[in-house]
Structure 1
Amino acid sequence: MTSQDFHIRRAEKADADEIFSLAREFGLTFRPERSAFDAALPRLLADEDAVILTAIVDGQVRGYLLGYAHLTLFANGCVAWVEEAMIRNDYRRQGLGRALLEEFERWARSRQAGYVALATRRAPEFYKALGYEESAKYYRKVLRSA
């Protein structure tokens, strides 16, 4: 697949079913519930400090990335954080993930972010190939049941 075979665009409300299907592929601690997803999606789409990008192949969402930009004190301004990134399994290794991250980096630069960061246990080689470096350990505490 070449970059002419897909394109990256901002998510739209009409993408909800396809994005929800991809979000369910995470399969980690939490299992996305449709009612919570439907409540969150319009808020995220309207949030100026958030962006949901989609990778479109043949008119269908085959990947998405949700990220934020926020102010910090330690970094002398804004930083950007990739919260979720998912490519449908049978579309991986075809450039969609790279294109989503590159578009997110452009968005982050437009917000004057000093850097982009993310936490992941998956595909460290992919992120390293795009110039990301391991920086810290990730800790969390679940505050509600999954």
Structure 2
Amino acid sequence: MTSGDLQLRRAEKTDAEQIFALAREFAVSFRPERAAFDAAFPELLENEEALLLVATVDGVVRGYLLGFTHLTLFANGRVAWVEEAIIESGFRRHGLGRHLLAEFELWARSRDAGYVALATRRAAEFYKATGYEVSATYYRKLLRPKNP
């Protein structure tokens, strides 16, 4: 664990600057644009199907997780999907990601989700260590050009 005071909580409007900085660190395929972030952030905070969690150490946001629940037909109801999960590079391997994921799982269970899934090319060992297993292949098709 980190030597500082770790807190998990729902993101708030005042966290926008710190979350945007982390999102820019996270991005590989896309470069987050500030205008798009500023438009999406308040909507995500209000969306009942979304959960945006932050992990703070000594009051500073050092990681976040954005996930959703949605209805399906094949899974007999709701499932949960982790869309983004990032821990600031200097704070990885200190338990923040594990805590964020566990909190998201509790929220997903409270919404009666049958499972939690995510797509990633990174951190396979972390997800296996937290009980996740490889389930499918991920495909995507860009509908608009990537940001330069």
Shorter chain as normaliser: what TM range?
Answer: over 0.9
- 1:113 is matched with 113
Question: How far apart, CA to CA, are the structure 1 residues paired with 2:9 and 2:101?
Answer: 12
Question: How far apart, CA to CA, are the structure 2 residues paired with 1:71 and 1:2?
Answer: 37
Q: Give the paired residue count.
A: 146
Give the CA deviation at 1:5: 2.5
Indicate how the Cα distance of structure 1 residues 89 and 11 shifts in structure 2: closer, same or farther if over 3 A, else same: same
Give the CA deviation at 1:64: 0.1
Secondary structure of the residue aligned to 1:120 is coil
* Contact map agreement 1:3 1:95 (CA 8 A) in 2: no
Secondary structure of the residue aligned to 1:25 is helix
Secondary structure of the residue aligned to 1:133 is coil
4+ residue segments displaced more than 4 Å: none
Point out where structure 2 has 5 or more consecutive residues left out of the alignment.
Answer: none
Give the CA deviation at 1:27: 3.1
Question: How far apart, CA to CA, are the structure 2 residues paired with 1:2 and 1:26?
Answer: 21
Give the CA deviation at 1:29: 1.6
Give the CA deviation at 1:3: 8.8
The within-5 A match list for 1:90-129 is: 90-129=90-129
- 1:21 is matched with 21
Give the CA deviation at 1:28: 1.5
What one-letter code is carried by the residue in structure 2 that aligns with 1:131? G
* Contact map agreement 2:4 2:58 (CA 8 A) in 1: no
For the pair 1:135 / 2:135, whether they are aligned, the reply is yes
Kindly report the root-mean-square deviation, in angstroms, between the aligned alpha carbons of the 2 structures: 1.2
- 2:57 is matched with 57
Point out where structure 1 has 5 or more consecutive residues left out of the alignment.
Answer: none
TM norm structure 1: 0.97
1:99-127 Cα shifts (integer Å, max 9, x gaps): 00000000000000000000000010000
Question: How far apart, CA to CA, are the structure 1 residues paired with 2:9 and 2:135?
Answer: 29
TM norm structure 2: 0.96
- 1:77 is matched with 77
What one-letter code is carried by the residue in structure 2 that aligns with 1:16? A
Q: Percent identity?
A: 71
